Structure 1
Amino acid sequence: MGIADRKLREKTERRQAILEAALHLFTEQGFEKVSMRNIADAIEYSPATIYLYFKDKNELLLDLQTQGFGQLAQELKVLEAIEHPAEQLRAVGEQLLGFAFRHPELFELMFIMNGPMVAAQACAGANAWPGGGSAFAQVVSIVQRGIDTGVFRPQKADSAALMIWANVHGLAALHLRQRLVVMPEERREAAMHEALNLFHELIRRAL
């Protein structure tokens, strides 16, 4: 390995170490309480070193968000084996809701927090959201396949996908932001899955 390759590898490893330390601190203390200095202290770097890799905290959050979408994409690959579009849509909803339960900090970072979006828009404009765009496109693709094969009625696939997308993320956001206190604690998770199933039964008839 040449000097240039070794330096690139070391730089990549250092950047990943920063991201892993940041996510650990965010998980323990919350996003708002953790500063760039806290992250630097956790891995015994100077704050100046952190800023060599990330312009600010929002840019660091955007990188973590991108990794989160990569993880979600891997988890969604298992759904490719489902052939029926309606069943695939149902499975996507369950998988997204399960992702919110398993990785609440990542889900909040990916779908609720403003910080990463500020960084994304600063880099590439108001429509920039590579990770979210890819995930949404997957839902649109499933709906379009259902339309093309006659499973769903002809309509605008992106509008139908947005309705489905909003329902799943709304349920997850209510859960993450402690808004399900309107229900008994022992009923909350089951009720979310029941609500998702009811929604899919309704849209299956409507679409």
Structure 2
Amino acid sequence: MGISERKEREREDMQRLILNAARKLFLENGVEKTSIRAIADAIEYSPATIYLYFKDKNEIFYALHELAFLTLAEHFRPVSLIKDPFAQLVELGHLYIQWAVENPGLYELCFLMESPMEALACRDESWEHGKNSFGLLMHIIEGCMAAGYFKQHDPESAALTVWSYIHGLVTIFLRGRMKLFDDDRDIERIKASYSLFIKMVQHGL
């Protein structure tokens, strides 16, 4: 390995170290209550070291946000192998729920945590990955409409309705609100609710 390759690997390793520490602190304390010094202390480096890799903590948050959406996009990849648009929609929902349940921290970063995006110089692109995910849903909804589903609805409203339902469902779970049932059947309930939602769509939502 040459000198330039080694330096690049060391840079990537340090960025990864910073991001992992920041993600833990952001999830525990929130973005606003997490300082650069706190992140530096967590990795046992000086704050000056952090600034060699990131402009400020908002840029760190954006990097984490971007990485989280990239993992979500990768998780959605099997949908492209399905031909039928309604089957695509059903599978997309299953994958979204699975990703949220298995990656609560990433879901928090993507959809639940109050973010400082307005402070970023790149704020115009800050939700680009979110737009891409919603764009995939829109594309599938348009295919479903061509197949006779979502009659008398526009694609955007239909897509927002589907996303709102699934987001609400997993948020209830992630925020611990299913504890009101006082048993351990949360995942079973999520699956049953989603199955009912799909039947409602099939019969003319």
TM-score bin, normalised by smaller chain = 0.7 to 0.9
Task: State the AA in 2 paired with 1:43.
Answer: I
SS state at 2:49 partner: helix
1:85/1:145 contact within 8 Å kept = yes
Alignment of 1:1-207 (within 5 A): 10-25=10-25, 30-32=28-30, 34-119=34-119, 123-125=122-124, 128-150=126-148, 152-153=150-151, 155-206=153-204
**Given the superposition, is the C-alpha separation of residues 163 and 4 from structure 1 closer, same or farther in structure 2, using an over 3 Å criterion?**
same
Q: Deviations along 1:109-128, whole A, 9 cap, x unmatched? A: 100111254456x5334x84
**Given the superposition, is the C-alpha separation of residues 108 and 20 from structure 1 closer, same or farther in structure 2, using an over 3 Å criterion?**
same
Q: CA RMSD in A?
A: 2.6
1:143/1:160 contact within 8 Å kept = yes
- Gaps (5+ residues) in structure 1? none
SS state at 1:110 partner: helix
Q: Deviations along 1:137-177, whole A, 9 cap, x unmatched? A: 11001011222344553631111011011111111111111
2:150/2:158 contact within 8 Å kept = no
Aligned counterparts of 2:116 and 2:174: Cα–Cα separation in 1: 18
How many residues are treated as equivalent by the alignment? 203
Q: TM-score, normalised by structure 1?
A: 0.83
SS state at 1:186 partner: coil
SS state at 1:206 partner: coil
SS state at 2:185 partner: helix
**Given the superposition, is the C-alpha separation of residues 115 and 163 from structure 1 closer, same or farther in structure 2, using an over 3 Å criterion?**
same
Identity among equivalent pairs (%): 39
- Gaps (5+ residues) in structure 2? none
2:150/2:201 contact within 8 Å kept = no
Q: TM-score, normalised by structure 2?
A: 0.84
Task: State the AA in 2 paired with 1:205.
Answer: H
